[in-house]
């Protein structure tokens, strides 16, 4: 019996040991000079109606995870299960029909809309691609979607450059909603943590901590999460600036540090952190953390 069958309803999305490596080639012979470890063993699951926020510095692999989940890039290893079905190796045509159930909203609302198409055509395109509606029926559906995201249907005739950044983002959302997907991935840099049910913190291609939102904010266990939360700007000019908890830069993902990837910048780094890689272990109700500090501290569940 599978896990899913045992727990009753299968999770909407299940990602196991996702790995994405990019070869770095150099020289005229295009020899492989190294590997970028963009995503290095990421696992998480997501229930229907649930939102999961992936947070981390730029370059930590958030977008790579998002694109792999949608099969916009091919993962090097690992499995992606959507609605209980393994979609990691779906063929081209199968994948195309499957795309109806998963959609993405990109980070950059300026580059994600074709400048030569009207907003209405952009939002209506998914419908015509999947043969769901055409002509007047499509127009009506697009108008509906426009209203749903807070745009006026008469703006359908306008071109992307005539909208503000926020409005463009809404066009992107309307396009993602058009197919009625069960999963929407938002590759969106702001406010992610605040609207999510659960939050996963990523560092150098790995998840270092994952927990319910309130739990994570109240009780961050990983030193990196603590540093990240401390660096969130406070909307009060008189607030005292906290001294940063980490300094230095993120190490290169071409040669990630051995052991725990964060040990080069961690205040609590021990000898063990330099050689042995910590795995995600339970640290409370629906709270998992990958850090040796949490072992033997008596703080386990």
Partner 1 sequence: MATINYDSELRRAGANATSGWRRLRFFAQRYVLGTFGLAIMVTFVLTALFADLICRYSPLTVDSAHALAPPGWQHWMGTDSFGRDVWARIVHGARVSLAVGIGSTALGSSIGVVVGLTSGYLSGWVDLVFQRVTDILQALPLLVLALVMTAALGPSLPNVIIAIAIPLIPTVSRVIRANTLALRELPFVEAAKSIGMSEMRIALRHVLPNTLAPLIVLATAQLGSTILTEASLSFLGLGIPEPYPSWGRMLSESAAEYVRVAPWLVIFPGIAISLAVFGTNLFGDALRDILDPRQRG
- List residues binding partner 1 (CB under 8 A): 67, 70, 72, 95-97, 99-100, 102-104, 106-108, 111-116, 125-126, 129-130, 159, 161, 172, 175, 178-179
Coil, helix or strand at residue 5: helix
How far is residue 65's CA from residue 59's CA, in Å, rounded to a whole number? 11
How distant is the alpha carbon of residue 3 from its chain centre? 24
Q: What is the closest distance, in whole angstroms, from the C-beta atom of residue 58 to partner 1 in the complex? A: 16
Q: Residue 212's beta-bridge partner residues?
A: 198
Provide, rounded to whole angstroms, the least separation between the CB of residue 102 and partner 1: 8
Give whichever of 70 and 143 is closer to partner 1, judged by the CB atom. Answer: 70
Contact 221, 286 (CB under 8 A): no
Taking the complex as a whole, the smallest distance from the CB of residue 20 to partner 1 amounts, in Å, to 16
Rounded to a whole number of angstroms, the minimum distance from the CB of residue 124 to partner 1 is: 11
Partners of 24 in beta bridges: 34
Shortest Å, Cβ 73 to partner 1 = 9
Closer residue to partner 1, CB minimum distance, 108 or 215: 108
Cβ 116 to partner 1 shortest distance, Å: 5
Pairing between β-strand 281-282 and β-strand 287-289 as defined by DSSP bridges: antiparallel
Closer CB to partner 1, 77 or 129, in the complex: 129
Considering only the C-alpha atoms of the chain, give the largest distance between any 2 of them, rounded to a whole number of Å.
68
Q: What sign has the CA pseudo-torsion 263, 268, 270, 273?
A: negative
| DSSP structural state of residue 293 | G
Question: Which region holds residue 126: left if phi is over 0, alpha if psi is between -120 and 50, else beta?
Answer: alpha
Q: What's the token pair of residue 34?
A: 């190294």
* Residue (47 or 181) nearer to partner 1, CB: 181
- Pick 146 or 224: Cβ nearer partner 1: 146
Closest to partner 1 by CB, 107 vs 139, is: 107
């Amino acid at each position: 019996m599978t896990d899913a069958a045992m727990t009753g309803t299968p999770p909407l999305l299940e990602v196991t040991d996702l790995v994405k490596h990019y070869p770095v080639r150099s020289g005229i012979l295009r020899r492989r000079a190294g590997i970028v470890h963009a995503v290095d063993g990421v696992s998480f699951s997501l229930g229907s109606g649930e939102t999961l926020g992936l947070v981390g510095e730029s370059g930590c692999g958030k977008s790579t995870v998002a694109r792999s989940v949608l099969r916009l890039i091919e993962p090097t290893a690992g499995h992606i299960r959507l609605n209980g079905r393994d979609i990691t190796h779906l063929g081209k045509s199968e994948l195309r029909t499957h795309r109806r159930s998963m959609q993405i909203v990109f980070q950059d609302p300026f580059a994600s809309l074709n400048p030569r198409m009207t907003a209405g055509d952009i939002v209506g395109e998914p419908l015509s691609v999947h043969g769901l509606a055409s002509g007047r029926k499509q127009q009506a559906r697009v108008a509906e979607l426009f209203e749903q995201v807070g745009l006026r249907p008469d703006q359908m005739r306008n071109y992307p450059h005539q909208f503000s950044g926020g409005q463009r983002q809404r066009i992107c959302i309307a396009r993602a909603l058009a197919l009625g997907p069960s999963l929407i991935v938002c590759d969106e840099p702001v406010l992610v943590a605040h609207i999510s049910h659960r939050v996963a913190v990523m560092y150098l291609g790995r998840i270092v901590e994952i927990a319910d939102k309130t739990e994570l904010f109240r009780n961050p266990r990983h030193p990196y999460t603590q540093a990240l939360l401390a660096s969130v700007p406070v909307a009060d000019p008189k607030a005292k600036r906290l001294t940063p908890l980490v300094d230095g830069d993120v190490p290169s993902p071409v040669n990630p540090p051995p052991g725990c990837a964060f040990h080069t910048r961690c205040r609590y780094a021990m000898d063990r952190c330099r050689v042995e890689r910590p795995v995600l272990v339970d640290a409370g109700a629906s709270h998992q953390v990958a850090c040796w500090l949490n072992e033997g501290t008596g703080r386990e569940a």
